[in-house]
Structure 1
């Protein structure tokens, strides 16, 4: 009888040892998981990540590692986001995203405003928009939203008139062209590179900075910022199911700070405007 009790005691003790080992392993794994950084793949256009570099550094203190995935064309980052190849992207304005969703039947969403980056007209041949001669050639982006925005800018500059009912006008919506300007449509990343070959070029702010241009100093005409600018506020985009992801909210919070606003001011020479201050956080 005593022998049976002894065996039972040994069995119980063994169970406690096994349980103890198991609990210890669970705690070790939990501690390991807690110490590992969360990586967020962020799609960007071009190599200009100065603003995000500052945000990235601050997020690292919270255990969030921003990994850049660089693209060269505007057609790429939303497809990568929809396919799950990246977690977020930051390259486009709201109007561009709305048009992408409409054309592709997707449901990507904005989770935070970043900057308002005025479109500019640049030239290596003239120093003032008034110097454009009859028949001059102007390059504009060829995608629907940025192309339409460029034509609106040319209208604001007094060069053409477009159909007032056209939300995203195309060249066919030009109703008056007194200088008989030749409008050449190019992929957005090519507009800055084409400046040697055309009389003037409409270039997105990010592309201009990548090309070594300073919007405030080098543009011969810069897009005004007012209430009509809201559709062109740049954003951080995510998949619909990730709209309330807590990690991604921390990314937005880290971006929308006074520190980021200072970096935006410095890196853009005052051309870009912190959009969350002018148009709200989202």
Structure 2
């Protein structure tokens, strides 16, 4: 009898030990589950990667882990990656560019409101100090994608250098009706336009691209007066714009700490909409 009681006690102790071990294991698994964050991949290019870094910093206590995916090359690569599901969103192209991409590729990418910023676009030259100095047969480098080409041509028209048959929604070089100085247009990939600065007479480029290249981005011969009409923000696939991570991402861009870092870094080449009165 004593032996049986002893065996029963050992059996009860064993059950308690095993039960405690399982409880601890389940508890540890629950902790791991709480600490595991959902990874969100956000595409960018060198010109916008600092923005993603600032958002990552603002969202460090979020349940989402923002992973920055930096693309190099043509400006359409992030949009293509978003459409095929390789990334969850991107911050690169302006609204009109995204709309044209959707139309040409039968995609449904959506830019999230309120828009974050716009970029200053200008005219630069390593040879001349004013538009009036531009000689006949001058070579001008402009972005070659449809939307930014249209924007560049309209800027040249505002400067009085060409006239366009601008009845079309998007103009190209074939729509130039008057070109008194016989300007030659060199079409470039927008990310490479600034590289032509010393090879041509004039370029049309974003001020931040000039800044990143170490050039004097404030020495523009002419500033685009419609910069604000080309907003940039987080772009996602249609139907995902109301997801929680999108809301947290956009909230991060509205924090004072984000805005401070943004303005200090971009030095006026990118302008936040919520820094503008009336926006």
* Equivalent residue number for residue 96 of structure 1: 97
- Contact kept, 8 Å, 2:40 with 2:65, in 1: the verdict is yes
Deviations 1:209-231 (A, max 9, x none): 3212353x1322221247xx32x
Shift of 1:278: 4.9
| CA–CA distance in structure 1, aligned partners of residues 63 and 165 of structure 2 | 51
Residue 30 (structure 2) aligns with = 30
Q: Give, in angstroms, the shift of residue 100 of structure 1.
A: 0.6
Aligned to 1:213: 215
- What is the TM-score of this pair, normalised by structure 1? 0.84
Question: 2:174 aligns to what?
Answer: 172
Change (3 A) 1:270 1:155: same
2:43 counterpart SS class: strand
Distance 1:261 1:214, change over 3 A: farther
Distance verdict in 2 for CA 1:257–1:30, change over 3 Å: same
Matches within 5 A, 1:125-204: 125-204=127-206
Which residue of structure 1 lines up, in the alignment, with residue 121 of structure 2?
A: 119
Structure 2: gaps (5+ residues): 1-7
Distance between the aligned counterparts of 2:216 and 2:105, measured in 1? 34
Task: Pick the structure with more helix per residue.
Answer: 1
Quick one: structure 1 residues 194 and 23, their matched pair in 2 at CA, closer, same or farther if it must change by over 3 Å?
Answer: same
Question: In 1, distance between residues paired with 2:58 and 2:220?
Answer: 33
Match of 1:49 in 2: 49
The structure-2 alpha-carbon separation of the partners of 1:19 and 1:129, relative to structure 1 and needing over 3 Å to count, comes to: farther
CA 81–206 in structure 1, closer or farther in 2 if over 3 Å, else same = farther
2:52–2:68: 8 Å Cα contact kept in structure 1? Answer: no
Name 1:62's counterpart in structure 2.
62
SS in 2 for 1:242: coil
2:4 is matched with none
Shift of 1:131: 1.5
**SS of 2:239 mapped into structure 1:** helix
Q: Aligned pair in 2 of structure 1 residues 27, 240: CA closer, same or farther (>3 Å)? A: farther
C-alpha deviation, 1:47, in angstroms:
5.5
Counterpart position of 1:4: none
Q: Deviations over 1:34-65 (max 9, x none)?
A: 21233221111125533332222111122433
Aligned-partner Cα distance in 1 for 2:216–2:139: 22
Q: Moved runs in structure 1, 4+ residues, more than 4 A?
A: 16-27, 276-281
* Residues 245 and 218 (structure 1), Cα distance of their counterparts in 2 relative to 1, 3 Å cut: same
| Residue 85, structure 1, aligned to residue 83, structure 2 | no
Please state if 1:239 is matched with 2:237. yes
Change beyond 3 A, Cα 1:64–1:130: farther
Show structure 1 runs of 5+ residues with no match.
1-6
Match of 2:265 in 1: 267
User: Partners of 1:65 and 1:166 in 2: how far apart?
Assistant: 44
SS of the counterpart of 1:67?
A: strand
Number of equivalences: 269
